[in-house]
Amino acid sequence: MNLFEQKRCKAMAEEIAQKVFINHELFNAFCQVPREIFSPLKAHAYRLDALPLANSQWISSPLTVAKMTMALDFKNADSVLEVGCGSGYQAAILSRVIRRVFTIERIEKLAKSASETFRTLGFSNINVRFDDGQLGWPNYAPYDRILFSAYATSIPEILLDQLADGGILVAPIFHNEKQYITKITKNGLKLKKEILDECLFVPILDGKE
């Protein structure tokens, strides 16, 4: 990043920190990832708004990215699986705070674009897969953390099976006509569910395109 981009990233991180709690590690992550490279709307990239992408997809608001990431309790996590890569911004933020990131995207155009962006940035710890994210990525399971970047009505059992014991899954879940950031902690056969905050995501869809 050049000096101008660094200043814009830091200013955005400071604005996020004024509105929601983020720890030092996540603050630094926002400072290290130039949001404009993930958005076609360069002039608006550092506003705290969701922005449109191709294929009726969106890049989440930085505030939502902050809330979702903090909900993961990522400090002791070594691996994370993201369902719904989109432009790759959430995965890029995760890659600054978790050692190994595995992200799945069902739209081939977006998966290829995100991979190229990660290479441009030199973010070598992000692995991208073009597939139906609801199937997970069994090859590298179990994952310490799983994050959904699209809303679901329920969590597929196959993904819960890929979550490590003691692991945390964070997803926007549709309930009573609204979406809520929901944190699920796995302890053996038991799942502890916490509803954290209202949110707005595109729905998770079946198959690939």
Q: What positions carry a catalytic annotation?
A: 60
**Alpha-carbon span 55 to 143, nearest angstrom:** 29
Q: How far apart are the first and last CA of the chain?
A: 33
Which three-class secondary structure state does DSSP give residue 173? strand
The answer to whether the beta carbons of residues 181 and 170 sit under 8 Å apart is yes
> Residue 96: what are its φ and ψ, rounded to 5°?
-85, -15
Tokens of 25: 């590690």
Name which of 9, 148, 132 is nearest 82 in CA terms.
148
Please, what is the Cα angle at 145 between 144 and 150, to 5 degrees? 160
